[in-house]
């Protein structure tokens, strides 16, 4: 078990990383749909998406395990469901990176979409409902527990999960749409 100060420092570190990932994900989507046809930022993402996807999924899986196994924050039912859809991404992108297989997005998108829906639901439940209406499993672990609450409550475990799925979806969207757009030029 980590000390309170170490957990707080981890939360702040991850919170800053989450905000940076959110910024770049929104920027990529904005440029993709409203920007010029040719863009060096989107070129970078398109060129390096296999390593980016692998790293994002790897770190999300690792820090999910750090929170549950080292810090001692038991995952709620919705967190377990999200793990089902993010953990395979590490292996999908790892094998795709090894084989330089850009078609991984076709296998990745369905998992990411389901994980996104679950994480979006959890964020809605976490931030906008009463605790008495929250889904909890038989273990008593509640989706409402504020185990991580940094930057005025903005950064939480549900927000971290949602950010991972949005960033991965932004990544594969850039590869899918920007790649097609480049072929048309």
Domain count within the chain: 1
**How far apart, in Å, are the Cα atoms of 5 and each of 9, 18, 176?**
6, 20, 42
pTM of structure: 0.90
Per-residue pLDDT for 27 more than 60? yes
Domain region containing 19: 4-184
Count of alpha carbons within 13 angstroms of residue 24, beta-carbon side = 15
The pLDDT tens digits of the residues spanning 3-15 come to 889 989 999 999 9
Per-residue pLDDT for 161 more than 90? yes
End-to-end CA distance of the chain: 55
* Interaxial angle between packed helices 104-128 and 77-99, expressed in degrees from 0 to 180 and rounded to the nearest 10: 160
The pLDDT tens digits of the residues spanning 33-87 come to 999 888 999 999 999 999 999 999 999 999 999 998 998 888 888 889 999 999 9
* Helix/strand/coil for 63: helix
- Listed in sequence order, the residues at least 6 apart from 128 whose beta carbon sits closer than 8 Å to its beta carbon are none
Per-residue pLDDT for 141 more than 70? no
What average pLDDT does the segment 108-119 reach? Answer: 97
Alpha helices, H only, 35-156 = 40-65, 77-99, 104-128
What pLDDT score does 137 carry? 54
Per-residue pLDDT for 98 more than 60? yes
């Amino acid at each position: 078990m980590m000390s309170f100060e170490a957990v707080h420092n981890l939360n702040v570190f991850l919170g800053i990383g989450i905000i940076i990932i959110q910024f770049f994900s929104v920027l990529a989507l904005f440029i993709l749909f409203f920007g010029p046809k040719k863009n060096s930022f989107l070129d970078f993402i398109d060129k390096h998406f296999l390593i980016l996807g692998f790293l994002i999924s790897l770190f999300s899986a690792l820090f999910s395990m750090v929170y549950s196994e080292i810090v001692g924050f038991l995952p709620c039912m919705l967190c377990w469901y999200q793990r089902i859809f993010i953990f395979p991404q590490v292996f999908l992108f790892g094998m795709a990176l090894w084989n330089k297989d850009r078609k991984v997005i076709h296998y990745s998108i369905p998992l990411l979409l389901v994980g996104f829906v679950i994480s979006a639901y959890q964020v809605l439940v976490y931030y906008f409902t009463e605790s008495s209406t929250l889904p909890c499993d038989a273990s008593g672990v509640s989706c409402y527990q504020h185990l991580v609450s940094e930057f005025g409550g903005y950064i939480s475990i549900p927000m971290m999960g949602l950010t991972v799925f949005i960033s991965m979806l932004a990544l594969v969207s850039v590869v899918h749409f920007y790649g097609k757009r480049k072929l048309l030029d």
